[in-house]
Amino acid sequence: MVINAYALCYAIYHVDIALATDDNEFKIATADWSTIDFGAIVGDDAVTEGVLKTLVEKGANML
């Protein structure tokens, strides 16, 4: 996993993870699920490779 870069007041996270071709749901979070817990905006949970995604605190799982 690679997480890098801070720009102005916004954090830009970049993650490279190989996933099996199956149904996968995920969020960006620390092990305690409270220090950091970012997910998708409700209704905008699909992730497309190469397309930036806006995350929100305590958001929905991404697909």
Q: How confident is the model at residue 10 (pLDDT cuts 50, 70, 90)?
A: low
Average pLDDT over residues 13-34: 82
Residue extents of the structural domains in the chain: 24-63
User: Distance between CA atoms of 14 and 2, rounded to whole angstroms?
Assistant: 6
Average pLDDT over residues 52-59: 91
Contact 41, 23 (CB under 8 A): no
User: For residue 31, what are the contacts with CB-CB under 8 A and spacing of at least 6?
Assistant: none
User: In the predicted model, is pLDDT for residue 30 greater than 90?
Assistant: no
The pLDDT, as a whole number, for residue 2 is 47
| pTM for this predicted structure | 0.65
